[in-house]
A = this chain, B = another copy of it.
Amino acid sequence: MFNQTTEYALRAMACLAYQPEAMVPTTELARLTKVPPNYLAKVLQELAGADLIVGRRGVGGGYRLARSPASIRLLDVINAISPVERIFTCPLGLETHGPNLCPLHRRIDAAAEALIDIYGGVSLQDVVSDSNVAQRPLCDTGTTLRVSARSRR
C-alpha cells in the first residue's frame, strides 16, 4: 500500500511515542524497529526534516518526538515520507477534464480520501494508548526500552 520507507517511519514514530521525553539513540531504534541502522538513519533524517522529530548528536544523543504524541497523526508521518494526495485536477493535464475528473481518477481520488480519513483520524497517542502488554507496537514481550527519560530541551 505504501513503500517500505513509510512503514519504517511509522515504526520509528510509534517507538518514540512510548517515551516522548526521551532521546532514543538510532541504534536502539534500529533494534526495536528491526530496521537496518543505515536505512533507519535516513528515515529519521527525513522525519526530522519534516519537523516531526528532533535530533541531538553526541553522547546521550538520538531522536525524540518534536511534539506530543497526541498532536502527531499517522497521516502526518506518512505525508512526511510519501504523501497521500487527493486529485484535484486531471493528472494528464487534459484541458477538457480539468477539475472534472474522469471516472478512473474519481475512484482513485475516493480511495485517497478514504486513506486520509483513516490515517488522519489516528494519532500516535491513540496507538500507544490502545496497546496492551502483549501487543505493544514493535515490542516483543520482555523487550524493554533501554533509555532513560530526559527533560525536553
In angstroms, Cα B97 to Cα A141, docked, is 9
Give CA–CA (A57, B32) in the complex, Å: 52
Contacts of A126 in B (CB 8 A): 103
Are B1 and A115 in contact, with the CB atoms below 8 A?
A: yes
**A81 CB, nearest partner CB in chain B, Å:** 13
* Chain A: number of interface residues, binned into ranges: 35 or more
> Does any Cβ of B come within 8 Å of A30's Cβ?
no
With A103-B127, A104-B127, A108-B1 in contact, is A134–B92 under 8 Å at CB? no
A residues with a Cβ closer than 8 A to B are: 1-3, 7, 10-11, 14, 33-34, 74, 84-85, 91-97, 100-105, 107-108, 110-112, 114-115, 118-119, 122, 126-128, 130-131, 134-141
